[in-house]
Chain A
Amino acid sequence: MSKSSQLKFLSRLALAAAASLVFTTGASAADKTLTVYTYESFITEWGPGAKVAEAFEKTCECKVTYVGVADGVELLTRLKLEGAASKADIVLGLDTNLVAEAKATGFFAPHGIEAKDVKVPGDFTDDTFLPYDYGHFAVVYDTQTLKTPPKSLKDLVEGDPSQKIVIEDPRTSTPGLGLLLWVKAVYGDEAGAAWAKLKDRVLTVTPGWSEAYGLFTKGEAPMVLSYTTSPAYHMVAENTDRYQAAEFSEGHYIQIEVAGMTKSAKEPELAKQFLGFMTGPEFQSIIPTTNWMMPVAATKEPLPEAFGKLVNPAKTFLLPSEDVAANRKAWIDEWLAAMSKN
């Protein structure tokens, strides 16, 4: 680069910087900001975050900023750490199991939205939290190595112990807790005995979903605890129907992801507007192929073909959030006792 062109380049750079400065200050002076706390995968480049923000900003003359933490559980921890001083207007990404605990913090305000169009299996409704997507837990299996997948939870529990499954730990992960509640919902007081039987089929118990799914796709076990929507990713993004979810005759436990607005929200009207937008067709259309979960309300276009091939559970289990909060420790102890026996 010659000296003059270097100068020109520098001055252009300075001009661009100045322009962008003016632009951003101009924008923030006119608009309000909505701060959304969510889990990290929501705002990755392939996640729904950016598209959601863009679509909402068109309707609200505001700016959406995200704060991302590891997962739904971490969201609640973060709120407890921050207390009433939290900057969050919206908290998006808790699941139904955390609802009672989240309400107990007293940080959340009722949303006051009727949400007639929202339809979730199991008919979950709440005055504080609104659902935005859901998925059923399911045993996902590798069709190349497992020809006869279990047809029920009973099948899974009593089946051939040499056909292994990788599950997640209920002490450290939400899918792990999901399976725990699923077994509880089906077996009730016999859950401990069921776990003792299932134990021989469990290859290992990983701290989170990523480790379990990693072992599964490496071929270490023909089954893994995941979601009914997992095969959709492989069909849509990888063009393979090798991995499928097994439909269980008893029914499937559901995970509903919800959002709520905080009492300390600086823009309560805007927050409410966002929650309304969240159950509308714009937002709902973004969810399926970015978050790989099922929409809770009508989408603009029909879902991709792959979603039609997914397991659609005939029966949905959902234990009341209060029961989960009250009994979680006892149930985990029961699980520990059954799974630790030799």
Chain B
Amino acid sequence: MFAPAENRITITAGTLSLGGILLFVCLAVAALLFQAGGFGNGVLFDAYIWRVTRFTLLQASLSTLLSVLLAIPIARALARRARFPGRVWVLRLMALPLGLPVLVGALGLIEIWGRQGVLNTALAGLGLQQPVSIYGLFGILLAHVFFNMPLVARLFLAGLERIPSEYWRTAANLGMPPAALFRFVEWPILRGLLPGAAGLVFMLCATSFTLVLTLGGGPAASTIEVAIYQALRFDFDPQRAIALSALQIVMTGALLLVLARVATEPAQSVTGGRASMRYDADTGLSRLSDTGWILFALVFIGAPLTAVVGSGLRADLAKLAGDPTVHRALITSIAIAVGSALLCVGIAAAMIRAAGTVTAGRHAPTLARFFAGAVTASTSLVLLVPPVVLGAGWFLLLRPFGDVARFAPAIVVAINGLMALPFVHRILAPAMATHAARTDRLTASLGIRGLHRLRWIDLPPLKKPLLMAFSFAMALSLGDLGAVALFGSQDMITLPWLLYSRMGSYRTADAAGLALFLGLLCLIFTMLGTAGDRRVPEGRNT
């Protein structure tokens, strides 16, 4: 297939990346355990942990189910309506929630769904007495769908857009009714993406912390992550924190394994690569339902974001924009976002490519399959290692080398990059698999390799998923508070850090203004992510 030398480089790069991730996590855990004097024998599975685990599973499963069920029709509608004015803005809007600090998103949701929110005010205006209560399981689910459904829809949409145009033409020739189209053309693709997407959402919801507590209505709504945070921060009991993290990883890992059985390897087919022409787009009914779903997504995601913008506009924006502390925070945030996105996309691409290379061919050796499995597993489960554990572990490791604050930027970039890995993997892996299936044999037989191959064969079609992955990773890092808060030195202030700090000292208006800045910055990042969507002339290779 490939020139062996190139193979070696690919595999080495992938192995190093995987090894690096495992080392980064294991060293941190080992350092914490060493500090605590080995494994303890305290009681882990008391009634409290059992209850918290049950609730974690319940809310995460429901959140995932709802996010996926809603994402399917929305992704289908957007795929079928490939061209309408403002479509690209709908896509950008959908990448925004993930880039916002959860507290900002939660306050936006409360302005719509809260006791004094738009909805309840309107209901009261209609003379209805029973207000919609966001506090409780409903609020948790609502918030999780708000943050995660757009992500799933984007992943599904990218998958649907990879369906070769030949499929649609054949289906149209056969006169397939919509139900058959879904069953034979769209569902196989979605089914292939489902475990990855659902697993990702499950992990995000299972480790959710601020949202669950703030909207949960009481301690009955607590996740394992709350217990981990409590163990490490309030009780300083690293053993318990690590044991709980392990519980979280094992539990979710088992669930991901079950989910993976649902997946089928999507059939990769040779295609002319023409832009898809959707012959099923012109019926009145599909037009109506697509418009309905797109409008629903627009309002559901857009309304809370509009509320965030509204609060932001009431702040003294001119003063904030001229504040040197804000400038510093802005620059730090951007630098961290770019750094972690580069790291993450680089590592992910290297590992996916290596896994693809070793498992190529009909009979991949066991070791190769093991490697590919390890790549998939590590890119998934890394999200379950709480940043608070990684941060504390690395703090201990770096302490002998002098002032830890000096290393803080590197560690924060690494942690943020790791946390974005599951997202980036889910965006890149299917796209790279499709690309490899379409081009590997041909380029190998033509002897195109090295940089030449990268420049002319790989980059043009992979530009779109790469940009999307990059922008997602940047947005995620932008909204993240966790990693920075651990090192918290006054030399490294990020925008979310500043936002929380102003909120923590009564300056709510300032915080709202900063949330607006964050949103704008995130929007700029997502514009980069949809840059590949512009100017796709009819009939050209995409």
For B489, the chain A residues whose CB sits under 8 A away are 67-68
For B503, the chain A residues whose CB sits under 8 A away are 210, 213-214
Known contacts A70-B485, A77-B236; is A204 also within 8 Å of B217 by CB? yes
Interface string of A206-234 (1 = CB under 8 A from B): 11111101110111110000000010011
Interface size of A by CB at 8 A reads 56
For A45, the chain B residues whose CB sits under 8 A away are 325
A211 to B209, CA, bound (A): 12
For B115, the chain A residues whose CB sits under 8 A away are 164, 203, 219-221
Can you name the residue of chain A whose Cβ is closest to the Cβ of B500?
Answer: A210
Are A336 and B229 in touch, CB under 8 angstroms? no
Are B236 and A76 in touch, CB under 8 angstroms? yes
Known contacts A77-B236, A203-B135, A204-B217; is A336 also within 8 Å of B490 by CB? no
A206 to B396, CA, bound (A): 30
Contact of B281 with A by CB under 8 A: no
Q: Which of chain A's residues 230-263 have a Cβ closer than 8 Å to chain B?
A: 230, 233-234, 237
Contact of B508 with A by CB under 8 A: yes
Are B233 and A199 in touch, CB under 8 angstroms? no
Contact of A137 with B by CB under 8 A: no
Known contacts A68-B488, A210-B503; is A335 also within 8 Å of B219 by CB? yes
Are B219 and A169 in touch, CB under 8 angstroms? yes
Q: Which of chain B's residues 201-241 have a Cβ closer than 8 Å to chain A?
A: 209-210, 213-220, 226, 229-230, 232-236
Question: Which of B106, B210, B396, B505 is the most central at the interface, judged by chain A CB atoms within 10 Å of its CB?
Answer: B505
Q: Which of chain B's residues 126-177 have a Cβ closer than 8 Å to chain A?
A: 135
Choose one: A44, A73, A204, A215; the contact of B218 (CB below 8 Å): A204
A217 to B35, CA, bound (A): 42
For A87, the chain B residues whose CB sits under 8 A away are 403
What's the minimum C-beta distance from A168 to chain B, rounded to whole angstroms?
9
Choose one: B114, B209, B235; the contact of A220 (CB below 8 Å): B114
Contact of A333 with B by CB under 8 A: yes
Known contacts A70-B485, A210-B103; is A220 also within 8 Å of B116 by CB? yes
Question: Which of B51, B106, B236 is the most central at the interface, judged by chain A CB atoms within 10 Å of its CB?
Answer: B236
For B405, the chain A residues whose CB sits under 8 A away are 67
Contact of A90 with B by CB under 8 A: no
Are A340 and B220 in touch, CB under 8 angstroms? yes
Contact of A57 with B by CB under 8 A: no
Can you name the residue of chain B whose Cβ is closest to the Cβ of A202?
Answer: B218
What's the minimum C-beta distance from A53 to chain B, rounded to whole angstroms?
12
Question: Which of A81, A85, A208 is the most central at the interface, judged by chain B CB atoms within 10 Å of its CB?
Answer: A81
Q: Interface size for chain B: under 10, 10 to 19, 20 to 34, or 35 or more residues?
A: 35 or more
For B106, the chain A residues whose CB sits under 8 A away are 211
A219 to B107, CA, bound (A): 11
For B415, the chain A residues whose CB sits under 8 A away are none
Can you name the residue of chain B whose Cβ is closest to the Cβ of A341?
Answer: B220
Question: Which of B103, B218, B508 is the most central at the interface, judged by chain A CB atoms within 10 Å of its CB?
Answer: B218
Q: Which of chain B's residues 462-509 have a Cβ closer than 8 Å to chain A?
A: 485, 488-490, 500-501, 503-508
Choose one: A67, A77, A210; the contact of B233 (CB below 8 Å): A77
Are A47 and B505 in touch, CB under 8 angstroms? yes
Are A73 and B233 in touch, CB under 8 angstroms? yes
Contact of B290 with A by CB under 8 A: no
What's the minimum C-beta distance from A217 to chain B, rounded to whole angstroms?
6
Can you name the residue of chain B whose Cβ is closest to the Cβ of A66?
Answer: B490
For B488, the chain A residues whose CB sits under 8 A away are 40, 68-70, 74
Are B508 and A205 in touch, CB under 8 angstroms? no
Known contacts A204-B135, A218-B111; is A339 also within 8 Å of B219 by CB? yes
A172 to B107, CA, bound (A): 20
What's the minimum C-beta distance from A110 to chain B, rounded to whole angstroms?
23
What's the minimum C-beta distance from A162 to chain B, rounded to whole angstroms?
11
Are A211 and B48 in touch, CB under 8 angstroms? no
Known contacts A205-B219, A218-B110, A340-B220; is A80 also within 8 Å of B236 by CB? yes
For B103, the chain A residues whose CB sits under 8 A away are 210-211, 214
| Overall SS of chain B's interface | helix
Contact of B371 with A by CB under 8 A: no
For A70, the chain B residues whose CB sits under 8 A away are 485, 488
Can you name the residue of chain A whose Cβ is closest to the Cβ of B48?
Answer: A336
Contact of A294 with B by CB under 8 A: no
A171 to B392, CA, bound (A): 19
For A270, the chain B residues whose CB sits under 8 A away are none
Are B219 and A336 in touch, CB under 8 angstroms? yes
For A85, the chain B residues whose CB sits under 8 A away are 399
Are A204 and B214 in touch, CB under 8 angstroms? yes
Choose one: B233, B234, B505; the contact of A46 (CB below 8 Å): B505
Choose one: B219, B236, B501, B508; the contact of A217 (CB below 8 Å): B508
A77 to B103, CA, bound (A): 24
Contact of B525 with A by CB under 8 A: no
A221 to B51, CA, bound (A): 28
Are B51 and A44 in touch, CB under 8 angstroms? no
Are B210 and A340 in touch, CB under 8 angstroms? no
A161 to B288, CA, bound (A): 45
Contact of B395 with A by CB under 8 A: yes
Interface string of A70-99 (1 = CB under 8 A from B): 100110110011100101000000000000
A70 to B403, CA, bound (A): 18
Are A205 and B48 in touch, CB under 8 angstroms? no
A104 to B26, CA, bound (A): 30
Contact of A41 with B by CB under 8 A: yes
A336 to B506, CA, bound (A): 29
What's the minimum C-beta distance from A156 to chain B, rounded to whole angstroms?
16
Known contacts A77-B236, A339-B220; is A333 also within 8 Å of B48 by CB? yes
Choose one: B214, B218, B507; the contact of A199 (CB below 8 Å): B218
For A292, the chain B residues whose CB sits under 8 A away are 505-506
Are A214 and B116 in touch, CB under 8 angstroms? no
For B215, the chain A residues whose CB sits under 8 A away are 204
Choose one: A41, A66, A203, A339; the contact of B505 (CB below 8 Å): A41
Contact of A59 with B by CB under 8 A: no
A335 to B219, CA, bound (A): 9
Interface string of B386-406 (1 = CB under 8 A from A): 000000100110010001010
For B213, the chain A residues whose CB sits under 8 A away are 169, 172, 204-207, 211
Known contacts A171-B226, A204-B216, A206-B214; is A233 also within 8 Å of B506 by CB? yes
Contact of A43 with B by CB under 8 A: yes
Are B229 and A172 in touch, CB under 8 angstroms? yes
Can you name the residue of chain B whose Cβ is closest to the Cβ of A79?
Answer: B236
Question: Which of B210, B234, B405, B503 is the most central at the interface, judged by chain A CB atoms within 10 Å of its CB?
Answer: B234
Are A210 and B219 in touch, CB under 8 angstroms? no
What's the minimum C-beta distance from A26 to chain B, rounded to whole angstroms?
22
A138 to B462, CA, bound (A): 58
A333 to B135, CA, bound (A): 22
Q: Which of chain A's residues 24-50 have a Cβ closer than 8 Å to chain B?
A: 40-41, 43-47
Q: Which of chain A's residues 287-334 have a Cβ closer than 8 Å to chain B?
A: 292, 329, 333
Choose one: B110, B219, B233, B504; the contact of A41 (CB below 8 Å): B504
Are A77 and B218 in touch, CB under 8 angstroms? no
Contact of A342 with B by CB under 8 A: yes
A63 to B107, CA, bound (A): 41
Question: Which of B51, B209, B220 is the most central at the interface, judged by chain A CB atoms within 10 Å of its CB?
Answer: B220
A144 to B269, CA, bound (A): 66
Known contacts A40-B488, A218-B111, A339-B219; is A237 also within 8 Å of B506 by CB? yes
For B220, the chain A residues whose CB sits under 8 A away are 339-340, 342
Known: A77-B232, A85-B399, A210-B504. 8 other contacts (CB 8 A): A40-B501, A41-B501, A41-B504, A164-B115, A172-B213, A204-B215, A209-B504, A292-B506
User: Could you pull out 9 A-B pairs where Cβ atoms are within 8 angstroms?
Assistant: A68-B489, A172-B233, A203-B217, A206-B214, A207-B213, A213-B506, A214-B107, A214-B508, A234-B506
Q: Which residues of A contact B (CB under 8 A)?
A: 40-41, 43-47, 66-70, 73-74, 76-77, 80-82, 85, 87, 164, 169, 171-172, 199, 202-211, 213-215, 217-221, 230, 233-234, 237, 292, 329, 333, 335-336, 339-340, 342
List of 6 A-B pairs having minimum Cβ-Cβ separation, nearest first: A340-B220, A219-B116, A210-B503, A207-B213, A171-B230, A210-B504
